[in-house]
Amino acid sequence: MSIILLASCETDFDNPNAATAEETFSTREGILASAVGLQQLYSTTGVRWIVETPAITTREGGITTTYQNMIELEDGGTALPNFNSNVQGLWSTMLRVVKIAEDIESNALNIDLEAGTQAGLIAHAKLFKAMAIGSLAQNFEQVVVETNNDNSAEFVSRIQAYETAISLLNEAKSTIATTPVSSEFTNAVTLGNIDLTNTVNAYLARYNLFAGNYEAAITAANDVDPSSTSTFAYDSQNLNPIWNRVFLNNAPNFKPRDNFGLPSEFVFDPADGRFDFYLVPLDETNQNGLPIEDLSGFFNVNTGSIPLYIPDEMNLILAEANLRKSSPDITAAINALNDVLTDTDDVFGINANAAAYSGASTVEALLLETYKNRRAELFLSGLSLEDSRRFGRPEPSGASMNYDEERNRNFYPYPDTERNSNPNTPDDPSI
């Protein structure tokens, strides 16, 4: 990663409470402000790239703009350039998060802090570093997990990256289990919006699933309290980043696709409550002929909160992990799926309120049902490209402008900003 980006990232926040460069990591006020800035960077700029970029690639959204970066994403294929601003933004922002998290963690022990404040800072930094690494691993074939000011950061495989994220999350979990987070940390940083313990467990469940650690994923998913919430909060100075892209100035950059962007072979109950939660019927197509809707859910209010995870993701993880483990547990998978399908009391109101599963009791059929429900339940959460590959959906051809394909890339090319500064940058994936 460019040393210019790294050098500037500690104080490059639109945050009126941010510390000066001299104070950032030498004072209580500075390091707490850095944690606020870390959270803000991820929740605004980061969430934009995390959600929008794979959404266009996997047809969750259809572009409604003439901006070249969005055209390139929807056209896809081998023609997607390394200088695409979405690809660059996703890569560079996540590495900025990693760098800031590293700096907070390495300096928190050097400042005279209340024990619970220090523990909160360290666990929070490890969580956000893990989330950033995981977001990179969902979209790139190889990733950086430790920054390097000499522009020679090493790359590791995406599975190794997930394992690194898992280790960070386990360390965060141990830290706050040993020393509970102080009210000082909560009042200064998370403001009660983020439940660190449940969020850590939720991401442990997610990344263990992605890494193929199915029993660990089941354990972590069961440790998440389904009534707890963790959200990114927004205000008039820091707007909901997806609202910003879809509603600002009535000039949308993209809109959601019909049927959650899934092909017609995936049939939902028309009364499935997730349609009304996320989508507003529009009966229009975009410039490439893709049917689009208007957007609702977490994204139609300029200061509306966005969850760090959806509680029913845990049930979908339980379903998938029980199907993929060495001795599949069909009954457990069906029970977990039914908890999603028949939900009427989701803490965020994402209630399918549909009939229980009645299809074939086979691993293949249940995995397909799990994929369908992940797409509906976790719509525009940034997980669609990882899911499309993992569930073996049809491979992209590599041809540009093939709008009938379910996804138009497997992984993104490495940004030229990284390639031009880091000699360790791998060759781009073929597609």
Query: Would you tell me the crossing angle of helices 47-57 and 68-75 to the nearest 10 degrees?
Result: 40
Q: Under 8 Å CB-to-CB from 78, ≥6 apart: which residues?
A: 398, 399, 400, 430, 431
d(CA 112, CA 121): 13
Domain ranges of the chain: 3-225+252-418
- How much is the pTM? 0.95
**pLDDT for the residue 26:** 85
**pLDDT for the residue 6:** 32
Q: pLDDT tens digits, residue range 299-312?
A: 999 999 999 999 99
Who wins on pLDDT, 151 or 21? 151
Architecture of the 3-225+252-418 domain: Alpha Horseshoe (1.25)
| For residue 17, pLDDT beyond 70 | no
**pLDDT for the residue 10:** 30
**Summary mean pLDDT of the chain:** 95
**What number of other Cβ atoms are within 10 A of residue 17's Cβ?**
12
**pLDDT for the residue 24:** 80
Give strand pairing partners of 232. Answer: 306
Q: pLDDT tens digits, residue range 78-135?
A: 999 999 999 999 999 999 999 999 999 999 999 999 999 999 999 999 999 999 999 9
Which token pair is 40? 């803000």
Mean pLDDT of 316-323: 99
Q: Under 8 Å CB-to-CB from 187, ≥6 apart: which residues?
A: none
**pLDDT for the residue 14:** 45
Q: pLDDT tens digits, residue range 368-420?
A: 999 999 999 999 999 999 999 999 999 999 999 999 999 999 999 999 999 99
What confidence tier does 295 reach under pLDDT thresholds 50, 70, 90? very high
Q: pLDDT tens digits, residue range 342-357?
A: 999 999 999 999 999 9
Query: Would you tell me the crossing angle of helices 85-108 and 47-57 to the nearest 10 degrees?
Result: 140
